[in-house]
Structures are given as structure tokens and as C-alpha cells.
Amino acid sequence: MGAQWKSKGKALVADAKGKLFGKLAKEIMVAARGGADPAANSKLRLVVEQARKVSMPKDTLERAIKKGAGLTGETVNFEHVIYEGYAPHRVPVMVECLTDNLNRTAPEMRVAFRKGQMSAVAWDFDHVGMIEAEPAEAGADAELAAIEAGAQDFEAGEAEGSTLFITDPTDLDLVAKALPAHGFTVLSVKLGYKAKNPISASSLSAEQLEEVQAFLAGIDDNDDVQNLFVGLVD
């Protein structure tokens, strides 16, 4: 499952596609605070590219940009908040939310954690930069690219054939800018959390793993949740 969890097969479900568009729209609105022109706003440009890759409708994308940049007269005020704790069987979880109403999100997260436990687990995670990229040319070497671009580590990414490059938070932009010169096209750039001592999925029974997956799916179903970072590896 790596540094960032995504439920299996979500991209194949129409409802999940709608949720993905909703999450991307929030990211676009937040990024557009720095300007509505993707050419002059690198953060916005990357999120727009992500949205286009998953075929977000053009009008939805443009509306999110205008709303975030304050061009529609509407006030956009999303707050970034992290909830932490354990999934069943002591699997550590960091839940990243973007919300316009903490009074709604906080109790919903408490309910979502009922089958787990809200607890301080940030100590068991490293705060890192995460760059998902795909080979731009045949023979592109992820290990060599990681070394030469200055990444700390790399692993399989979410998209088929992609690589997730892990960086120091302060090096995130530098590595993202360097990767294209080493044969990789950057798909997404973000700060996130990587477990220091992840639990191996093979140490759990099929029933236990199913309980963990159900718990994570329940949290991810919340519209305010942007990302889940889970201490569980295949």
C-alpha cells in the first residue's frame, strides 16, 4: 500500500470518479489562490495536469480555478487539518483533510475512527515530499533518476508504471524540477507522510486485512478527506 493508500478499483467506479473530481477541485481552488494562470502558477499547473489526465470536465476545472482565484465573487476558505490514529490491528494512519467546516468534519472523523482509535501517531511517520512521475522515454531508470535528482528514496507509484519519489520536504520543488532531465514526467507533487515502521500486510490474516481495508474505505469515503497515509506495506 506504500506511503499513500487508495482503495482498490476506485478508478473503475463512477461514484469514485466523482469523488476524485471533488478532491481535485478543492486542490485546484487552493492552488488558484496564487493566481488563475497555470503558466504563472506552478502549483496550479500541476494540479490542472492531474485533473486533465483523469478527464475532469473542462467547465468543472475552469469553475474551480475561477472560484479559487476569487473571480466569481464567492469566498473559498478551506482549512487543512490532520487526524491521526490507528486502524484495526494497530495499523497507524494519518488522515489529511481540506474542510470548509471543522464543526462538521471533526465529529465525522470521530465516528469514522470508532472501529479504530484516535491517537497520536505522527511520531511514527516522516514528513516527506512525494513526487509521482512516469517514464518519459524507454529505459528511464528510476533509481538513477532518484540519485541524480536528489530524491531520498523511491517506490512504485499509484498509477500503473509510475514511480513515487520521496524527498526531504525542503527539496520537493528542486527534485520535481530536476526529474524531467532524467527521463521522467512529473504527474503530481505534494507533501505527505511515510511510516517509519510499517506493518507488513502478510503479518495479518485475510480477515484482519479485510477489516483494515473496510476501515480505510470508510474514512476515504468522507468528502473532506484528501489523502490517507497508512503504515501498511504489501
Percent of the chain with pLDDT over 70: 93
Burial of 51 (0-12, 13-18, 19+ CB in 10 A): buried
Tell me the torsion sign for CA atoms 66, 68, 69, 73: positive
Tell me what the mean pLDDT of segment 48-64 comes to: 89
pLDDT, residue 182, reads 94
Q: What is the CA radius of gyration of the chain?
A: 18
**7 or 84, which is more confident?**
84
* 22-26, 65-69, 105-109: which is most confident: 105-109
Give the per-residue pLDDT at 4. Answer: 56
Which residues lie closer than 8 Å to 219 by C-beta, 6 or more apart? 93, 95, 109, 112, 113, 225, 228
Say if residue 99's pLDDT is above 90: yes
- CA-based nearest residue to 95, from 112, 83, 87: 83
Query: E strand or H helix at 79, and its extent?
Result: strand 79-87
In tens, the pLDDT along 135-154 reads: 998 888 999 999 999 999 99
Q: In whole angstroms, what is the distance from residue 94 CA to residue 15 CA? A: 24
**What is the tens place of the pLDDT at every residue in 68-82?**
998 888 877 888 999
Residues 154, 61: Cα–Cα separation, whole Å: 30
In Å, how far are 69, 103, 218 from 109, measured between CA atoms?
A: 29, 11, 10
11 has pLDDT over 50: no
The residues that bridge with 134 in the sheet, in sequence order, are: 185
In angstroms, the CA 204 to CA 12 distance is 27
pLDDT at 6 over 60: no
Q: Quick check: 132 and 100 in contact, CB under 8 A?
A: no
CA distance 187 to 198: 25
pLDDT in tens, 186-232: 888 888 999 999 999 999 999 999 999 999 999 998 989 999 999 99
- Residue 90, phi-psi category: left (phi > 0), alpha (psi -120 to 50), beta (remainder): left
Tell me what pLDDT residue 50 has.
82
Cα 95 to its chain centre, rounded Å, is 10
Place of cell 478527506: 225
pLDDT of residue 14: 56
Distance from C-alpha of 58 to C-alpha of 91, rounded to nearest angstrom? 39
pLDDT attached to residue 2: 46
**Pairing outcome for strands 199-200 and 232-233:** parallel
CB 187 within 8 A of CB 221: no
Q: Can you read off the three cell numbers belonging to residue 9?
A: 478499483
pTM of the model: 0.82
For domain 10-68, the CATH class is mainly alpha
In tens, the pLDDT along 164-174 reads 999 999 999 89
Angle at alpha carbon of residue 104, lines to 87 and 71, rounded to 5°: 115
